[in-house]
Chain A
Amino acid sequence: MGKLRFLLALWLAKLSIPALKITRHNGTDFPGSLALKLCPDFLRYVGKPGTIVAVTGTNGKTTVSNMLTDVLEARGLRVLGNRFGSNIASGISTAFIRNCDLLGRVRRCDIAVLEVDERSSPRIYPYVKPDYVVLTNLFRDSIMRNAHPYFIADVLTKSIPAGTKMILNADDLISCSVSPENPRVYFGIDRLESDVTDCINLIDDVRICPRCSGKLAYDYRRYHHIGRARCSQCGFASPESDYLAAAVDFHRQSMVIRENGAEYPYPLITDSIFNVYNMVTVIAALRQLGFDHGDIADALGRTAVAETRHSEEQVGKVRLVKQMSKEKNALAGSRAFDYIAGRPGRKELLLMMNCLGDTHHWSENTCWIFDADFEFLAHESIAQLVCTGARCRDYKLRLLMAGVPEEKIVCEEDEFKAAERLHYTPGDDVYILYGTDSLALAYRVYDRMRELALQHAEEKEAEA
C-alpha cells in the first residue's frame, strides 16, 4: 500500500512539473509539497544516489552546498541537489522527483548534495540517511522559530542517523556537541591577528564548560562563541582540527590547510572570515569524499563565492551599498554592523530590517533587536542613521541605548520618505540594510536612493 501510494504521489508530482513550466512557476517546491501531502513518507521510497552529503547549520549552508556542488561538477560528477529549491522537506522531495524515473529510481546521479534546514531534520533524516552531515555552525537564529542553538543541536542529535559521519566546526563548541556518538572529523581556522580573548558581543552562548559548568577561558575568539576554549577546572577543551586553515593572508590571498602535520597551499577566494570558514568546510568535505588537495585547490581557484548579501556601486558622488541583514536574527545584524563599522570612510545608514509580513496582522517580536550589537553603530565613522518602517521607534531607542548620539538619528516610518532624509554627502558610503522579508520593498527604496543620489550630485555640481 505504501509503495502504491508513493507511485501515485510521484506520478502526480511529476505531472505537475510541465504544468508549472507552462504557468512559469517552475522554481517552486510544489511537486515536493504535493508528493508529501499524498504520501507523507515519500522520501522513504524515492531512489537516492550511492552517496549523500547533507549540509546544515545556521550560517553558510547555501554557500557551502553551492561551492561543493560546483567543485564536484567541475570534477565530472553528476550531482543531485536542491540548489534551486528550498531546504525543507518539500524542496528536498522536489529535488529527488526531478531526478528519478517513473518508478522512483534515481537516474544519472553519482552523489546528492543537499542543503538541509536544521529544524526540518526530523522530517528528512529518518528517510534520507546521509553518509556525511556537514555542520557549518550553530548560532542564535529566529527566537520564534529556533529558540536557541542548543535546542537546534538537540534536534539534530535526535534526527541524524547513528552511522552518519559528522564534519564539524572545531571552533564552534555548540555544533561540536551534536551527535556525540557518531564518527566525526573537524575543521577550523588557526589563530588570526584580529582575534581577541574576551567577548565583545552581546550574544556569547558558550561561557561555561559543557562538562562541569565552570567558566571557560578562550585562547582566542573570533566573534561570539567562535574560537578555541578550555576549562581550567576539568580540562575540557575544544577539539583539534583535522583540517586547519593556517597562515591565512588576505593581502596575498593565500592560506594553507594543515592535515596530519603536512601543509597544502590554497588560494583565498574571499576577503571575509565567514567565507574562509565556508572554504575550509568545503575542503574538509571534499577530503572526506576522497579528493586530493591539489585537485581541490585547483577547482576552488576557479570557483567564486557568491556575495549575494552585499553589493555596491558608485552613484553620483556617493557609493550606494546594499547590505542584507536578516530580520529577526540578532547574529546576522551584529555581523553586518561590525562589518560596516570596520570599513573605511564615512557612512550613512538606512535601517529597514522590518518584518513586513507581521506589519498588518500581527506585530513583530522585537526581542532580537536587544540581542544584536547595535553598539557597533555608535562608531564615529557613521554620520547618520535613518530608522524606518513599522519598527523605526524600536531602532531609535535601541540606538540611543547603544550610545549613538540623538542628533545622528532620524526616525521616519515611511520608507520612501526615509530615503529622502539621508544626506548623500559627497564621498559617503550610503547603506540600505534590509532583511529577506523586506527584500522587494528594499529594492524599490534603493531605486529611489539612486535617483536621490544623482539629484544631490547634480545640485552639488550646479552649486560649484
Chain B
Amino acid sequence: MRVEVLFPEICNLSGDGMNIRYLHQCCPALEIVETTLKDRPAFLDGGVELLYLGSATEKGLELMVEALAPHREALLERIDQGQLMLVTGNALDALGRYVTSDDGWRLEGLGILDTHAEYHMMDRHNSFFLGKFEGMDIVGFKSLFGHTYGADDAAEPLFAVEKGVGRFPGAAVEGFRRNNLLATYLTGPLLVLNPPFTKWLLRQMGAPDHLAFEEAAMDNYEKRVAEFREPGRDYMY
C-alpha cells in the first residue's frame, strides 16, 4: 500500500509534513514514496493509494506547477478515475486556474479546480476553522496570503463552514472535492488534529482504521472542537 508525497523538498511548510508521518504511524505497513521535482511521479504508473501535496512558498508553487504541468492530463484522468489525493494549504492554488498578488506576481495554475486565488502579501489572513465533513467535526487553522474564489456552492465542497472562513470570507463552504481529490486551505497537521477524518481516510485507502496514540489524539481533538465552539471565541486572529 503506497502513499506518494509529491515534492517534499518544497512542499513542507506549516507542519504539513506531519500529516504523512502520522498516517505512517497509524499504519506502519504503508510504503511512503517521496517524489522530488526531478523525478517521474509514481502515480502515473498506478498503485498509489494516496497522493499528497502540501504547502509551499510562492516560488515553490511555481515549481510545483512546472513539475506537474507535463502530467496534467494524466493527473486529471486519475482524479476522474477516483485517485485519492489530499492537498493542504496553499498547494490548492497550484490546482486552481491562476493566482494574482497585489505585488504584481501571477501564477498560472494547472486548472484542475475551477477557482482562482488573490493574495495580499502584507495583509496575512489568520483564523481558526470549525466545519463538517460527512457528519464529522473538522478543526484547523488558516495562515495564508489570501483566499480562493471559486463559486460558493457550485463546485463540490470539501467542508461545510460552521465557524471560520471558507473558500473566501462569507463563503458557506471550504475547500474542494472532486471525486476523491480532497483539497483544503487548512494548513498544517490536518490529520493529526482530526483523528476521525484520519480514520475515514485510512478506510478509503483500504488500510485498517487504527490510530496511533488514539487516546491522546482524541482527547486533544475533543478539547479543540469544544474550544472552537465556545460562543465568546472569535475565529479571526
Q: List the interface of chain A (C-beta within 8 A of B).
A: 122, 143-145, 147-148, 150-151, 158, 202, 204, 207-208, 213-215, 330, 358, 361-363, 365-371, 393-394, 396-397, 400-401, 406
CB pair A367 B124 closer than 8 Å: no
Query: Could you name 30 residue pairs across A and B whose Cβ atoms are closer than 8 Å?
Result: A144-B124, A144-B126, A144-B143, A147-B124, A150-B58, A151-B121, A202-B17, A207-B10, A208-B9, A213-B38, A214-B38, A361-B232, A361-B233, A361-B234, A362-B233, A362-B237, A365-B126, A365-B128, A365-B237, A367-B189, A370-B15, A370-B17, A396-B216, A397-B192, A397-B213, A400-B212, A400-B213, A401-B22, A401-B192, A406-B216
Residues B108-126 near A (CB distance < 8 A):
121-122, 124, 126
CB pair A208 B143 closer than 8 Å: no
**A150-B59, A361-B233 provided; 8 other pairs, C-beta below 8 A?**
A147-B124, A158-B103, A213-B37, A358-B237, A366-B188, A369-B15, A370-B18, A396-B216
Chain A residues lying within 8 Å of B217, measured Cβ to Cβ, are: 397
With A144-B126, A208-B9 in contact, do A367 and B213 touch (Cβ < 8 Å)?
A: no
CB pair B18 A401 closer than 8 Å: yes
Q: How far is the CB of B164 from chain A (nearest CB, A)?
A: 11
With A144-B126, A150-B59, A362-B234 in contact, do A393 and B15 touch (Cβ < 8 Å)?
A: no
Q: How far is the CB of A339 from chain B (nearest CB, A)?
A: 22
Partner of B15, one of A213, A363, A368: A368
- The DSSP consensus for interface residues of chain B is mixed
CB pair A150 B57 closer than 8 Å: yes
Q: List the interface of chain B (C-beta within 8 A of A).
A: 9-10, 12-15, 17-18, 21-22, 25, 36-38, 57-59, 63, 103, 121-122, 124, 126, 128, 141, 143, 145, 187-189, 192-193, 212-213, 216-217, 219-220, 223-224, 227-228, 232-237
B105 to A, closest residue via Cβ = A154
With A215-B36, A393-B219, A397-B217 in contact, do A367 and B143 touch (Cβ < 8 Å)?
A: yes
With A150-B57, A207-B9, A215-B36 in contact, do A393 and B216 touch (Cβ < 8 Å)?
A: yes
Complex-state Cα separation, A371 to B122, whole angstroms: 23
Complex-state Cα separation, A147 to B63, whole angstroms: 18
With A369-B15, A393-B223 in contact, do A144 and B57 touch (Cβ < 8 Å)?
A: no
A203 to B, closest residue via Cβ = B12
CB pair A363 B224 closer than 8 Å: yes
With A363-B233, A365-B128, A370-B192 in contact, do A151 and B15 touch (Cβ < 8 Å)?
A: no
Q: How far is the CB of B23 from chain A (nearest CB, A)?
A: 11
B232 to A, closest residue via Cβ = A361
B193 to A, closest residue via Cβ = A366
CB pair B227 A147 closer than 8 Å: no
Partner of A143, one of B14, B57, B192: B14
Chain B residues lying within 8 Å of A394, measured Cβ to Cβ, are: 220
CB pair A213 B18 closer than 8 Å: no
Most buried by B among A145, A213, A361: A213
Q: How far is the CB of A388 from chain B (nearest CB, A)?
A: 14
Chain A residues lying within 8 Å of B22, measured Cβ to Cβ, are: 401
With A208-B37, A361-B232 in contact, do A367 and B141 touch (Cβ < 8 Å)?
A: yes
Complex-state Cα separation, A204 to B192, whole angstroms: 21
CB pair A367 B187 closer than 8 Å: yes
With A214-B38, A397-B213 in contact, do A365 and B143 touch (Cβ < 8 Å)?
A: yes
Most buried by A among B10, B15, B145, B193: B15
Chain A residues lying within 8 Å of B212, measured Cβ to Cβ, are: 400-401
Complex-state Cα separation, A363 to B226, whole angstroms: 11
A399 to B, closest residue via Cβ = B216
Complex-state Cα separation, A151 to B59, whole angstroms: 10
Most buried by B among A158, A367, A368, A369: A367
CB pair A148 B220 closer than 8 Å: no
Complex-state Cα separation, A32 to B128, whole angstroms: 33
Complex-state Cα separation, A371 to B21, whole angstroms: 12
Complex-state Cα separation, A145 to B63, whole angstroms: 24
B10 to A, closest residue via Cβ = A208
Q: How far is the CB of A344 from chain B (nearest CB, A)?
A: 30
Q: How far is the CB of B226 from chain A (nearest CB, A)?
A: 11
CB pair A397 B128 closer than 8 Å: no
CB pair B220 A396 closer than 8 Å: yes
Complex-state Cα separation, A121 to B55, whole angstroms: 26
Chain B residues lying within 8 Å of A370, measured Cβ to Cβ, are: 15, 17-18, 188-189, 192
Chain B residues lying within 8 Å of A358, measured Cβ to Cβ, are: 237
CB pair B14 A371 closer than 8 Å: yes
Chain B residues lying within 8 Å of A330, measured Cβ to Cβ, are: 15
Complex-state Cα separation, A122 to B121, whole angstroms: 12
A146 to B, closest residue via Cβ = B124
Complex-state Cα separation, A144 to B38, whole angstroms: 31
Q: How far is the CB of A334 from chain B (nearest CB, A)?
A: 12
- In the complex, the 6 A-B pairs of residues with the closest C-beta atoms, listed nearest first: A370-B15, A367-B188, A393-B220, A370-B18, A207-B9, A367-B15
CB pair A122 B213 closer than 8 Å: no
Complex-state Cα separation, A207 to B37, whole angstroms: 11
Complex-state Cα separation, A365 to B142, whole angstroms: 8
Complex-state Cα separation, A397 to B192, whole angstroms: 9
CB pair B213 A401 closer than 8 Å: yes
Complex-state Cα separation, A361 to B234, whole angstroms: 6
Q: How far is the CB of B98 from chain A (nearest CB, A)?
A: 20
Most buried by B among A358, A361, A365: A365
CB pair B141 A365 closer than 8 Å: yes
B189 to A, closest residue via Cβ = A370
CB pair A145 B124 closer than 8 Å: yes
Most buried by A among B103, B143, B212, B235: B143
CB pair A148 B233 closer than 8 Å: no
Complex-state Cα separation, A431 to B3, whole angstroms: 39
Q: How far is the CB of B222 from chain A (nearest CB, A)?
A: 9
Partner of A401, one of B12, B25, B57, B235: B25
A147 to B, closest residue via Cβ = B124
